[in-house]
Structure formats: C-alpha cells, structure tokens
Structure 1
Amino acid sequence: MRTQPYNVLFLCTGNSARSVMAEAMLNVLGAGRFRAYSAGSFPSGKVQPIAAELSRAFGYNEPLRSKSWGEFAQADSPGIDMVITVCDNAAGEVCPIWPGQPVTAHWGVPDPASVGGSEDERRRAFQSAWMMLRRRIDLLLALPLDKLDRIATQQELRDIARTASAHEH
C-alpha cells in the first residue's frame, strides 16, 4: 500500500489559468492522496485574476504563481508520477525529460483567458473550464491507483479525457 501522495504536474503553455486551477483543485480534493503542481512551457509570469479567485473560493490558500516547467525537470525536483497537459499547444511541444518517467495524458480544455467580451462572458469561460477540470479530477480521484500498474494508469488517465468530453458535448 502506497503511503506517499501521487505527485501530479499540470502543464499548459502560459501557466496562468487552466493548469493553475487544476493544481489548486486537485490539492484541495486530493488532500493527502495527491500533491499537485503546475507549470508552463512559456510561462506568462502572472496568474489570471479570475483563476486565482476561483481557486481561493474553492479553499486553496497556497500562493499561486506562473512558472516554467524547467523547475520540475531538475535532479532535486519532486518526483512526478503523472504529467497532464491541459492545453493543446503544450500537448504538441517537446517536453523536458522528467525524472522518474511519469505517466502522461492530455486533457484538452479550452483556454478561458483567450475569451474576450464582457466581464460576465469572461467569468463564464473560466467557470466552464473549471467545471471541465472538475469532472476530470473527480474521475482521477475515483481511480484505484494502488491496484494499477504504470501502463494501466496511463491508459486510465488518457481515458478520462475521452469519458469527460463525451459528457460535455
């Protein structure tokens, strides 16, 4: 029986909205079982205010910051068990070599930060992305990870995106 939490790294290009929200959400919902982190291939250097607000309202009180995925490819970085890309750009990029050979999956979620319009329209886009991530994270939390090997875990993680997106359309 595993006693250490599973370390999950959520990746996006800018690390300003989707990956940050996923980090906050999994840290709250998976407390003790999971430790979530987020990073970007080309970090914007700032967290979107609506993403930070949703994360705080959800009960995540740690400081959120936009950072490079290079921080997690160092020899002294926490060992990452799962790497999940949440934006289509990052999924196609050549990732660093992660220590520990984590399983990988892509959970594409539309970028709420790219939505223009009124404050209400922008908030709805962030709320929609939040709900998509929530469905995927709930499915991750339901997995019997201690009973799955590496290959089965990777397959289950990849199936989550298909299962969740089937309910979103």
Structure 2
Amino acid sequence: MGSRSTDAAAAPPEFVRLAAHPLRWRLLTELGDGDLRVRELVERVGEPQNLVSYHLRLLRGGGLVTARRSSFDGRDSYYRLDLERCAEALAASGAALHPALRQLPSPPGHPVVRSRTRRVAVLFVCTGNSARSPIAAALLHHHTAGRISAASAGTSPKPQVHPHTVQVLRESFGIDLPGRRTQHVDDLVGRRFDHVITLCDKARAVCPEFGSRRIHWSMADPGAGGDTGQAGYAAFQHTAADIDTRIKHLMPVLNTPETVARSEP
C-alpha cells in the first residue's frame, strides 16, 4: 500500500506533462497535418509569436517536435511532429500508469481500404521529380498494394529519375520503378486529387492549386550534396527511410471516414 502511494505521488511522464498543456496540445495537433512555419502556427492557434515559439522550444526539448531550416527561404524554419517519438512516449506513459496499458506495436501490414467507387488519389510534388516525389509515390503504391492512386510530378522536373532513386527503391524495398521519365506538375492540372503533398519548400511555394487537401513535408533534396560515391547514395537511403516512415503514418489518415466521404464523387 505504501509503495502504491509513493508511485502515485511520482511526477507524471514527460509526454503527459508536455502534451497536457492546452496550447502545446494544439501545436501538436496542428503539426499532425504536416510541417508548418512559426507564422503559420501563430495564425492557426491565434496566439502571439513569442508564446508559440516558447512552447515550440519545450516540445523540441522533449523530442516531440523537430525543426529544419527552409531550403527555399533560409530565414524560415519548418517544424515537424515526430510521430515515431510520440508513439513511443505515449506507450511509455500508458505503461507507467498500469502494465495493462502497455501498447505493443502493431505488426506491419497493409491498411484495410474501404470499398469505394473511386480510389483515393494522392499527388506528391517536389522540384525535380527525380528523388523525393517518385520515392513517395512508389512507397505509397507499394504499401497499399495499388489500392490508392499515387502519382508524382515536379515544378521544374529534371530529364529523368535519379539512378540512386531507382537503386534505393529496389535494394531497400524490393520495388522496381516502372520507367524513369519525370513529368511537370502543370501537366496534371485538371486531374482530381484528394491530397497533394509537397516534399520540398520551393515546390510548396509554386505548386498550383488542385482543389485538394494540401500537406507539406519539408525534406532536403538527397541529390543536392553530389551524385557520386557511397556518401551520395547514403543520402538517398536516409531520405527513402524518412519518407517510408511518413507514408506509414499517412496511410491511416487516408482510411478515415472523413477522407472516404470526401473521396466519393
């Protein structure tokens, strides 16, 4: 009995202390929609910038949020919700309350996509359409067994998909990329997409509107540091692994009833 009282008096897990604050919880939920800049978070939560920045620092200190300098405007930073870290911290918090609340990771597998007259369509956009966006489209197609339509395009496409893109998809995921040609995002204007996801900051600024839900993932171009050697290929491996994590967290979003309802013609 005394041991239980001592446990009850212990401080709550850090995740609980961080997420329980109303403004920090709001910031976490807003970042759940995609990567955002401080001024965008200020607009969404309706609080002063200095207050938002203060709470973002606390969330970063707790490892729940990360920041990356914008590749389009170096004065800006994009904030990202680390969903993997949040899942681990949430599971640990449940276990701290009671062993029966310990959450075990679900085995990997394909999502159950509800029957519909038209597949959900997702467009991935980066600048060159040679690395990030084709990797994302290929991984979403792979993980959903083609039950979700995934396309990619560039705002200033290169002549062809980068060879390292083809290599990393084959070696790391067993995916053979069909064809190596790129396409311009303007060629897809007029097509219907449920979600448009930009993967680089410059593409976000110039991507045309498709009347779709817009999501931004701020990611570095793996080909920017040079194309040759093991160091160059390692950047593609890192980017592909990062995109794969994001895709796995995207899949449940694509299966929500709200998404299905919006997807019906």
**Length-normalised TM-score, structure 1:** 0.77
Which ranges in structure 2 are unaligned for 5 or more consecutive residues? 1-113, 261-265
Residue in structure 1 matching 2:212, options 102, 106, 116: 102
Q: CA deviation at 1:147?
A: 1.6
Provide closer, same or farther for how the CA distance between residues 69 and 144 of structure 1 changes in structure 2, counting only shifts above 3 A: closer
**Number of the residue aligned with 2:205:** 92
How many equivalent residue pairs?
145
Provide closer, same or farther for how the CA distance between residues 62 and 92 of structure 1 changes in structure 2, counting only shifts above 3 A: same
Structure of higher CA gyration radius = 2
Residue in structure 2 matching 1:22, options 136, 148, 172: 136
Q: State whether residues 82 and 102 of structure 1, in contact with CA within 8 Å, keep that contact through their aligned partners in structure 2.
A: yes
- Is residue 65 of structure 1 aligned with residue 181 of structure 2? yes
Residue in structure 2 matching 1:82, options 189, 195, 201: 195
Q: Which amino acid aligns with 2:195?
A: M
* Higher deviation after alignment, 102-111 or 30-39: 30-39
Q: State whether residues 166 and 177 of structure 2, in contact with CA within 8 Å, keep that contact through their aligned partners in structure 1.
A: no
Q: Which amino acid aligns with 1:91?
A: R
Q: Which amino acid aligns with 1:122?
A: G
Q: State whether residues 5 and 32 of structure 1, in contact with CA within 8 Å, keep that contact through their aligned partners in structure 2.
A: no
> What percent of counterpart residues are identical?
32
**Length-normalised TM-score, structure 2:** 0.50
The Cα RMSD (Å) is: 2.2
Q: CA deviation at 1:120?
A: 1.0
The answer to which structure, 1 or 2, has the higher relative contact order (CA under 8 A, 6+ apart) is 1
| Counterparts of 1:144 and 1:117, CA distance in 2 | 34
Provide closer, same or farther for how the CA distance between residues 120 and 8 of structure 1 changes in structure 2, counting only shifts above 3 A: same
Deviation sequence 1:49-84 (CA, Å, 0-9, x none)? 01012223432442242110012103xx3x211100
Structure 1's consecutive aligned runs of 4 or more residues displaced over 4 angstroms after TM superposition are none
